[in-house]
Amino acid sequence: MTARTTAPPPPLHVRDVTVRFAGLTALDDVSFTVAPGSVHAVIGPNGAGKSTCFNVLSGLYRPAAGTVHLGDTELTRLAPHKIAGLGVARTFQNIVTTQGTVADNLMLGRHALSRAGFTASALRLPGARREQREHLARARELAELTGLAEHFDAPVAALSYGDRKRVEFARALCLEPRVLLLDEPVAGMNAAERVRTAEVIRTVREELGLSVLLVEHDMGLVMRLADEVTVLDFGKAIAHGTPEEVQRDPEVLRAYLGTEADGPTDSGEDAA
């Protein structure tokens, strides 16, 4: 399968972002950059602000202070659909799929890219039918890339938990994003499903050349996949660096274990 773009994605800059809810500071002056084509992980103990960070990046929350830029374009005050249109797609912690087949769900992801108007589509004019075939072919390519090809025409309800998670992943890819936000992509999976999904993430990054920002509790997956890691604790960024560097950082050890004796392990267990 051929990637749709050859130019590298722009960097995603998060600068001095602060989010407050009724006096509670969920994010406190958080900054980091997702380098073009990299896998960047945001980790931290429960309640550290990871999901809040994702909601800011995708436009669901607006920060009290700070900015988010995709290259030179500021995303901070844009609506979610406008951010998605600029090339930022996301998944959610909980599975979000609709009734119907895998193909139906993936075609929902292609809807935002449709150029045919409502009337042309309703009347099934030749241009609209041709575009529909092209979108379906691309959805099939992305199903193959994410390991769903054999299930393309199967009902989503009949799939395993891990496959349903990958349907949501593939649907996000159907937006042709430049930056993909993965919110706990292996949560609830068994060991075999986690390994398979990790390989899919690695393959997608290599084949499509996009940037990946992930929140994940599986520290083994983070340590194997991430080029860089940002660690949050009580809404503040307490460490940045390579997986090896953050594993040894005293502040990270205290945040996870309350001690400097041992760090997060590469066991694949839930450590965040």
Domains defined for the chain, CATH in brackets: 12-87+177-257 (3.40.50.300)
211-215 and 179-183 beta bridge pairing: parallel
**pLDDT one-digit tens code per residue, 148-204:** 999 999 999 999 999 999 999 999 999 999 999 999 999 889 999 999 999 999 999
Q: How far apart are CA 189 and CA 259, in angstroms?
A: 29
For range 37-43, the mean pLDDT: 96
% of residues, the chain, pLDDT over 70: 86
Q: Cβ–Cβ contacts within 10 Å for residue 123, how many?
A: 10
Residue 22 has pLDDT above 50, yes or no: yes
20 pairs with which residues across the strands? Answer: 25
Q: Name the pLDDT band for 121 (thresholds 50, 70, 90).
A: low
What pTM was computed for the model? Answer: 0.84
In the predicted model, what is the mean pLDDT of residues 87-100? 84
Left (φ > 0), alpha (ψ -120 to 50) or beta: where does 12 sit? beta
**Percent of the chain whose predicted confidence (pLDDT) is above 90:** 68
The SS3 call for residue 70 is: strand
How many helices and strands in the chain, by DSSP H and E? Answer: 10, 10
Write out pLDDT tens, residues 218-260: 888 998 999 999 999 999 999 999 999 998 999 998 887 665 4
pLDDT digits (tens, 9 = 90+) for 8-18: 899 999 999 99
Average pLDDT, the chain: 87
Per residue, what are the HEC states of 80-91?
Answer: HHHHHHCCEEEC
Express the helix, strand and coil content of the chain in percent, nearest 5 each: 40, 25, 35
- Please write the tens of the pLDDT for every residue from 123-137: 555 666 777 889 999
pLDDT at 226: 96
For residues 31 and 13, what is the distance between their CA atoms, to the nearest angstrom?
8
Give the separation between CA 67 and CA 75, rounded to whole angstroms: 8
**Residue 272 pLDDT > 70:** no
